[in-house]
Amino acid sequence: MAPKLPPQPPLQHSTTAVADGQSHGHAAPPKGIFRWLLTTNHKEIGSLYLIFSLTMFFIGGIFALVVRAELFQPGLQLVEPEFFNQMTTMHGLIMVFGAVMPAFTGLANWMIPLQIGAPDMALPRLNNFSFWLLPVSFTLLLSTLLMPGGPNFGWTFYAPLSTNFAPPSTTFFILALHIAGISSILGAINIIATILNMRAPGMRLMDMPLFVWTWLITAFLLIAVMPVLAGVITMMLMDINFGTSFFDAAGGGDPVLFQHLFWFFGHPEVYIMILPAFGIVSAIIPTFARKPLFGYASMVYATAAIALLSFLVWAHHMFIVGLPLVAELFFMYSTMLIAVPTGVKVFNWVTTLFRGSISFESPMLFALAFVVLFTIGGFSGLMLAIAPADFQYHDTYFVVAHFHYVLVPGAIFAIMAGVYYWLPKWTGHYPNEKLAQWHFWFSIIGVNLTFFPMHFAGLAGMPRRIPDYALQFADFNLLSSIGAFFFGASQLLFVLGVILCVRGGKKAPAKAWEGAEDLEWTVPSPAPLHTFETPPVFHRTSH
């Protein structure tokens, strides 16, 4: 007599069974606003991050346009100098902490489980909590503008401007930053736990897509440096409210201590904003060149090298504070050293393109623009690394030009490339290609018209963060302001394209792009709410 087998459960947890929207084995989701407040689904939380980020892009962008409107002509035109400084400060804080970082976190939430074959993030409720901290944080931050005296000390909030001479709202600004920092740390813990524990059977670390690798390394950076930010703003809080003198020379403190602590956080922070962009570009270029990425392993090692070196370069922001000569030399050469792994990446991207069968869809256009314009930003960064030259460049518009060349055509173009690349997977429709290409060309013109003239104004000695300037800088500023409004207006095409894509359009198959090889292209488009409930079988690909 054959042994009696236990009854086999029906295969209802597989991806296909759930593709029709019936989520068997899941409690009925709450309806209405509670569905979004209480969701633990990585796709819904990823969408929330992306929507939040887009909102903040427009708020931060409006603040930037106030700045550019004031600088349209020399002389005080539109706003008070005090309000001008509040605008520069809030623009920087919102773009860095409210727009770029949440956008990459949203892409991570959406795509990392799909790319490694995980059913969801490792810690779904923590995921929900870390998102909802952000609207609280930025509502609090924006509310400081309505208090008598908003933050007016620049996004780097140097002491003593942010302590002894700070507006009364600074304590609220510190609390807002603490909340955003907690959100980042929790998100990073979640990403590390997911990547290390939830990969599909058979997927080794060196089989992961590069977007997953860059985010793994970014998450370790976040956990390492966010507590430093928490420490330095807590010291500010003590100086303001509890009579300490960490940063007050009159009480035995030192404002330079603030700069050391801030930039020890701040420099890894700028790599936190660019490493995921490298991952997105490393996914898009092989897809549209229709050949495997050249030098996969060297890309992983280069990413890790950049992350490690980012801890050794912070004082290149401080060449003019009177560092000892040996320190200036150390930080000058360590900064130049970062160009090596970055150069490895650019070389690998270009070599991937070489003799590829390239098609120029919108994600590819943004990725190619990223490679070219990010490299320009890298070259101006090498100029700033030269300590004696930096005495001239420091705190001029040259630094503004450099920073925006690595962050706008760098981080933001990569985000847009990623959105156009993965929209078919999210919505089941291709974005309108004609509209996306218009958006691309307008953005390219706008970015270069805005930021290229700033190099010349800065080399000629125009200082940053001023509402008025000498007559000889008028033409450059006129061009920059026209470019800024043009760039801002062209982003409305992006929003229109995304909305049209969500509402309909050409249907996308599971594998939306011909050259796409990663695991996310094996699930249906649009991706069902629950994917990979049965772990997928992972077959090793070319790398």
Q: What is the pLDDT of residues 389-417, one digit of tens each?
A: 999 999 999 999 999 999 999 999 999 99
Residue 135 to residue 305: CA distance in whole angstroms: 34
Q: Is 4 designated active site?
A: no
Categorize the per-residue pLDDT at 12 as very low, low, confident or very high, splitting at 50, 70 and 90. Answer: very low
Q: What is the pLDDT of residue 26?
A: 61
CATH architecture of 40-521: Up-down Bundle (1.20)
Q: Is 421 designated active site?
A: no
Mean per-residue pLDDT over the chain, rounded: 95
Half-sphere exposure of 359 (CA within 13 A, CB side): 10
Q: Is 271 designated active site?
A: yes
User: By the 8 A CB rule, do 506 and 101 touch?
Assistant: no
Residues near 189 by beta carbon (within 8 Å), at least 6 away in sequence: 123, 126, 219, 223
Instruction: Examine the pLDDT at 195 and tell me if it is beyond 80.
Output: yes
**165 CB-contact burial (10 Å; exposed 0-12 / middle 13-18 / buried 19+):** exposed
Cα dihedral 327→332→334→338 (10° resolution): 160
Half-sphere exposure of 265 (CA within 13 A, CB side): 19
Among 19-28, 170-179, 340-349, 505-514, which is the least confidently predicted range? 19-28
Catalytic residue among 42, 345, 425, 439: 345
Furthest C-alpha separation in the chain: 100
Q: Is 125 designated active site?
A: no
Catalytic residue among 144, 163, 169, 183: 183
Residue 82 to residue 131: CA distance in whole angstroms: 32
Q: What percent of the chain has pLDDT over 70?
A: 94
Q: What percent of the chain has pLDDT over 90?
A: 92
Element (H or E) spanning 529, and its range? none
Q: What are the Cα distances from residue 4, in Å, to 1, 8, 528? A: 9, 12, 36
In eight-state DSSP terms, residue 409 is I
From the centroid of its chain, how far is CA 244?
A: 35
Tokens of 352: 């991937």
Catalytic residue among 199, 316, 402, 455: 316
Catalytic residue among 44, 70, 269, 518: 269
Catalytic residue among 342, 375, 480, 481: 342
Instruction: Examine the pLDDT at 349 and tell me if it is beyond 50.
Output: yes
Q: Is 171 designated active site?
A: no
Residue 501 to residue 199: CA distance in whole angstroms: 30
Tokens of 246: 């960490």
Q: What is the pLDDT of residues 222-267, one digit of tens each?
A: 999 999 999 999 999 999 999 999 999 999 999 999 999 999 999 9
What is the average pLDDT across 85-100? 98
Instruction: Examine the pLDDT at 543 and tell me if it is beyond 90.
Output: no
User: By the 8 A CB rule, do 144 and 173 touch?
Assistant: yes
Q: What is the pLDDT of residues 447-468, one digit of tens each?
A: 999 999 999 999 999 999 999 9
Categorize the per-residue pLDDT at 23 as very low, low, confident or very high, splitting at 50, 70 and 90. Answer: very low
Residue 77 to residue 347: CA distance in whole angstroms: 46
DSSP 314-378: GGGG-GGG---HHHHHHHHHHHHHTHHHHHHHHHHHHHHHTT------HHHHHHHHHHHHHHHHH
Tokens of 202: 């058979």
In eight-state DSSP terms, residue 6 is P
Instruction: Examine the pLDDT at 3 and tell me if it is beyond 60.
Output: no
User: By the 8 A CB rule, do 114 and 531 touch?
Assistant: yes
Catalytic residue among 464, 511, 522, 534: 464
From the centroid of its chain, how far is CA 165?
A: 31
User: By the 8 A CB rule, do 110 and 426 touch?
Assistant: yes
Residue 430 to residue 200: CA distance in whole angstroms: 28
Categorize the per-residue pLDDT at 539 as very low, low, confident or very high, splitting at 50, 70 and 90. Answer: confident
Which residues does residue 463 pair with via DSSP β-bridges, in sequence order?
396
Amino acid at position 248, single letter:
D
Q: Is 342 designated active site?
A: yes
The residue among 541, 527, 540 whose CA lies nearest residue 118 is: 527
The owner of tokens 């960490």 is 246
Instruction: Examine the pLDDT at 212 and tell me if it is beyond 60.
Output: yes
Query: What spatial distance separates the first Cα and last Cα of the chain, rounded to whole Å?
Result: 50
Tokens of 348: 């690998």
Q: What is the pLDDT of residues 280-332, one digit of tens each?
A: 999 999 999 999 999 999 999 999 999 999 999 999 999 999 999 999 999 99
Catalytic residue among 43, 317, 404, 439: 317
Q: What is the pLDDT of residues 36-64, one digit of tens each?
A: 999 999 999 999 999 999 999 999 999 99
The residue among 380, 369, 375 whose CA lies nearest residue 347 is: 375
Instruction: Examine the pLDDT at 25 and tell me if it is beyond 60.
Output: no
Q: Is 267 designated active site?
A: yes
Instruction: Examine the pLDDT at 22 and tell me if it is beyond 90.
Output: no
Q: Is 298 designated active site?
A: no
Q: Is 316 designated active site?
A: yes
Secondary structure class of 543 (helix, strand, coil): coil
Instruction: Examine the pLDDT at 279 and tell me if it is beyond 60.
Output: yes
Supply the Cα-derived Rg of the chain in whole angstroms: 24
Q: Is 282 designated active site?
A: yes
Q: What is the pLDDT of residue 2?
A: 52
The owner of tokens 């947890």 is 13
Instruction: Examine the pLDDT at 68 and tell me if it is beyond 50.
Output: yes
User: By the 8 A CB rule, do 103 and 94 touch?
Assistant: no
Q: Is 402 designated active site?
A: no
What percentage of the chain's residues is helix, strand, coil (to nearest 5)?
70, 0, 30
Residue 422 to residue 426: CA distance in whole angstroms: 6
Residues near 16 by beta carbon (within 8 Å), at least 6 away in sequence: none
Tokens of 475: 């033409």
Instruction: Examine the pLDDT at 14 and tell me if it is beyond 60.
Output: no
Q: What are the Cα distances from residue 463, in Å, to 398, 452, 466, 476? A: 9, 16, 7, 13
What is the average pLDDT across 187-196? 98
Domain boundary assignment for the chain: 40-521
The owner of tokens 């490679």 is 371
Catalytic residue among 271, 296, 393, 405: 271
Catalytic residue among 13, 55, 143, 155: 155
